[in-house]
Amino acid sequence: DAKTTQPTSMDCAEGRAANLPCNHSTISGNEYVYWYRQIHSQGPQYIIHGLKNNETNEMASLIITEDRKSSTLILPHATLRDTAVYYCIVRFTQGGSEKLVFGKGTKLTVNP
Partner 1 sequence: GAGVSQTPSNKVTEKGKYVELRCDPISGHTALYWYRQSLGQGPEFLIYFQGTGAADDSGLPNDRFFAVRPEGSVSTLKIQRTERGDSAVYLCASSSPSGTYNEQFFGPGTRLTVL
Shortest separation between residue 14's beta carbon and partner 1, angstroms: 26
Nearer to partner 1, 96 or 112 (CB): 96
Sign of CA dihedral 37, 47, 11, 69: positive
Strand bridging mode 70-75 / 84-91: unpaired
A 10 A CB-CB count for 75 gives: 21
Nearer to partner 1, 42 or 53 (CB): 42
Nearer to partner 1, 66 or 99 (CB): 99
Rounded-to-integer distance, Cα 97 and Cα 107, Å: 27
Q: Which residues bind partner 1 (CB under 8 A)?
A: 41-46, 49, 85, 87, 93-105
Shortest separation between residue 10's beta carbon and partner 1, angstroms: 16
Shortest separation between residue 34's beta carbon and partner 1, angstroms: 9
∠ CA(60), CA(90), CA(57), 5° rounding? 15
Nearer to partner 1, 70 or 106 (CB): 106
